[in-house]
A and B are shown apart, each in its own frame.
Chain A
Amino acid sequence: MKKVIVKKNTYYDSVTLMTVSKEAKKIEGVKEVLVGMATELNKGLARNIGLYTEEMDTLTPNDLFIAVDTDGDPAIVENSVEDLLTKKKEAVSSDFKPHTLDSALKMMPEANLALISVPGAYAADEARKAMENNLHVMLFSDNVSIKDEVELKRMAVEKGLLMMGPDCGTAIINGIPLAFANKVCRGDIGVVGASGTGTQEVTSIISRLGGGLSQVIGTGGRDLKSEVGGLMMIQGIDGLAADPDTRVIVLISKPPSGDVVGKVLSALKDAGKPAVVDFIGGDPKIIEDYGFTPAKSLEDAAYKAVLLSCGEKICDAPQFTMPSGEIDKLAAGEAEKMLPSQRHIKAFYTGGTLCDEAIHILQEYIGPLYSNVPLDASYALNDPNASLGNTAIDFGDDIFTAGRAHPMIDPSMRAERLARESEDESIAVVLLDFVLGHGSNMDPVGEMLDSIRLVKERANQRGGYVSIIASVCGTPEDPQGMDNQINKLREAGVVVMPTNAQAARLAGLIMRRKYDEQVK
């Protein structure tokens, strides 16, 4: 039976509702359920799953709906959802909450930063109001127009404020992780990053190598496009230049637009501090021409930043932490257990920049990969829900996240996909990332274990073996407990490498052996 239950003027944030939707799907008899605010997006999702009714036409984004298709009584679903929502509300701190920024400022007139994560349609207005009140802004929301982004960032530059975002997932200000960020040591390395999980990987590795971070400033992924002109990366560089606690600067981004790269590197030159630049997959020459150190991977960026911070001579990070003889033995051992028919890799990622880095590295070993985020458009998957040969998927891509939480919060879509592909006899290697830190799922490994075991078991039943390689992005101080996550993976037979770059290289080595085997 299909039914839509409406609760007028009842507002919950999107992550709460996505979590409740996920839990409501487990109620006995429920075939499909969507719990959401009546935004255009959620109405569209209800339409897609055949649960839209005419009464939803008049609902506003302030109205909650529960659209359900169940074999049982819809009233049971309604009661269960209400229980779940009540529990969520009780779990949230009971401190008094003002309804507007103005009232919040009356309670805390000395506030200096607004962390904004409202739906995209309202985000620019809230950010503007915050900056009018001289607050620095971290804008986590996405779906903000590039026109609004340019206006907001120009306003920020005029007022000397930070305007991190839109779509900025990571920042660490004065040692405090904001949104998705790791618990890192403090120190003298300052980072400006346009890539969320790229910044998390670099800052976590710096901390694990014994270095420390002064400030970590996010810009949002579009900052280095021509339209925005690197406004916030330059603002961030200027801030780090004037910061006596920052001795080394690291920049992380996909390659900037041609007309922006010079502006950014000139600002870095003016900063007058040693710097490492990782324009992921970009040409290192222009970085060297400006006198800075280019990084070959996120790990390499962290490694070189720590060397600079210690006043040591710069050299490349080793390809592997393990001695090369042991790595060759490991790769050979994994490959020899496979059947000749096993010849494909599936790289399933929750972190966008980590996925991009893995594709760049794997390409050196096995050529282009099919992907929803391919390096070459001719390798774009027509259907991102189905793999094709060697495939890399970024599950944080918009096509997967409409109406659901990011896979770093809710990894179930990746788990389901991996379970489904356990039937694929050609699968040889699975490459996975696990991103820890504040904001992320509290047990990302636990969420994947059933699928990991299933892939291993199905391959075993066919007389073969699937090699599962993973890396964990985080620090031992993160709330999930890094050692605990790594141990769970190892107990399930997963090879855990120290960094994403090393995991991708090992996966590449194993695949290379499989290719060589076929040639013989």
Chain B
Amino acid sequence: MNRLNELFDSKLKVINIGLHGFADDLKSLDVDVIDVDWRPPAGGSKRMADLLKKLK
């Protein structure tokens, strides 16, 4: 079975990254969701973020 059909056969478990309202909607539907308190990486510096990516 491919991963898509595994998903269709499983309980949906969501990681929400971004707008908190989407996580709240899912919680109101009793969906398991972890809401990430996301913020721009490397303090919002694109240059620093690119450098950090190279280090990984």
Q: Which residues of A are interface residues toward B (Cβ below 8 A)?
A: 9, 11, 13-16, 38, 60-63, 92-93, 95, 97-101, 103-105, 107-108, 110-119, 121-122, 125-126, 130, 134-136, 140-141, 159-162, 173-174, 176-179, 214-215, 235, 238-239, 242-243, 245, 438-439
State whether B14 touches A114 (Cβ < 8 A).
Answer: yes
A135 neighbours in B (Cβ, 8 Å) = 15
B3 neighbours in A (Cβ, 8 Å) = 134, 136, 159-161
B5 neighbours in A (Cβ, 8 Å) = 239, 242-243
**Among the interface residues B1, B13, B39, B43, which one has the most CB atoms of the partner chain A within 10 A?**
B39
B8 neighbours in A (Cβ, 8 Å) = 173-174, 214-215, 239, 243, 245
Given contacts A93-B27, A162-B4, contact A140 B18 (CB under 8 A): yes
Binary contact readout B12-32 vs A (1 if CB under 8 angstroms, 0 otherwise): 111111111111111101011
Complex CA gap A211/B24 in Å reads 28
Closest-by-CB residue of A relative to B25 is A438
Closest-by-CB residue of B relative to A60 is B44
Complex CA gap A61/B15 in Å reads 23
Complex CA gap A102/B31 in Å reads 20
Complex CA gap A63/B40 in Å reads 10
Closest-by-CB residue of A relative to B18 is A117
Minimum CB–CB distance for A78 against chain B, Å: 22
Choose one: B12, B24, B29; the contact of A92 (CB below 8 Å).
B24
State whether B40 touches A104 (Cβ < 8 A).
Answer: no
Choose one: B15, B38, B45; the contact of A113 (CB below 8 Å).
B15
Q: Which residues of B are interface residues toward A (Cβ below 8 A)?
A: 1-8, 10-27, 29, 31-32, 34-41, 43-46, 53
B32 neighbours in A (Cβ, 8 Å) = 108
State whether A113 touches B12 (Cβ < 8 A).
Answer: yes
State whether B18 touches A116 (Cβ < 8 A).
Answer: yes
State whether A99 touches B38 (Cβ < 8 A).
Answer: yes
B7 neighbours in A (Cβ, 8 Å) = 112-113, 136, 162, 173-174
Given contacts A93-B27, A115-B15, A160-B4, contact A439 B37 (CB under 8 A): no
Complex CA gap A134/B13 in Å reads 13
A245 neighbours in B (Cβ, 8 Å) = 8
A–B complex contacts, Cβ < 8 Å, 13 sampled: A13-B18, A13-B20, A62-B39, A63-B44, A97-B37, A98-B34, A108-B32, A108-B34, A112-B14, A119-B40, A161-B4, A174-B12, A176-B31
State whether B17 touches A114 (Cβ < 8 A).
Answer: yes
Given contacts A11-B40, A60-B44, A111-B34, contact A176 B29 (CB under 8 A): yes
Complex CA gap A243/B21 in Å reads 31
Choose one: B2, B13, B39; the contact of A160 (CB below 8 Å).
B2
Complex CA gap A34/B6 in Å reads 45
A243 neighbours in B (Cβ, 8 Å) = 4-5, 8
Complex CA gap A214/B15 in Å reads 22
Minimum CB–CB distance for B41 against chain A, Å: 7
Choose one: B18, B44, B53; the contact of A141 (CB below 8 Å).
B18
A95 neighbours in B (Cβ, 8 Å) = 35
5 A-B pairs closest in CB distance: A117-B18, A60-B44, A239-B4, A97-B37, A61-B44
State whether A242 touches B36 (Cβ < 8 A).
Answer: no
B11 neighbours in A (Cβ, 8 Å) = 174
B41 neighbours in A (Cβ, 8 Å) = 122, 125
Minimum CB–CB distance for B54 against chain A, Å: 13
State whether A242 touches B2 (Cβ < 8 A).
Answer: yes
Closest-by-CB residue of A relative to B11 is A174
A61 neighbours in B (Cβ, 8 Å) = 40, 44
State whether A113 touches B25 (Cβ < 8 A).
Answer: no
Complex CA gap A15/B16 in Å reads 15
Complex CA gap A238/B4 in Å reads 9
A121 neighbours in B (Cβ, 8 Å) = 46
A99 neighbours in B (Cβ, 8 Å) = 36-39
State whether B22 touches A98 (Cβ < 8 A).
Answer: no
State whether A439 touches B17 (Cβ < 8 A).
Answer: no
State whether B15 touches A111 (Cβ < 8 A).
Answer: yes
Choose one: B4, B10, B13, B36; the contact of A235 (CB below 8 Å).
B4
Choose one: B4, B12, B19, B39; the contact of A140 (CB below 8 Å).
B19
State whether B17 touches A15 (Cβ < 8 A).
Answer: no
Choose one: B4, B27, B40; the contact of A62 (CB below 8 Å).
B40
State whether A118 touches B53 (Cβ < 8 A).
Answer: no
Complex CA gap A239/B46 in Å reads 37
State whether B24 touches A114 (Cβ < 8 A).
Answer: no
State whether B35 touches A97 (Cβ < 8 A).
Answer: yes
**Among the interface residues B3, B17, B27, B35, which one has the most CB atoms of the partner chain A within 10 A?**
B17
Complex CA gap A134/B2 in Å reads 12
A63 neighbours in B (Cβ, 8 Å) = 44
Choose one: B4, B29, B34; the contact of A242 (CB below 8 Å).
B4
Closest-by-CB residue of B relative to A110 is B13
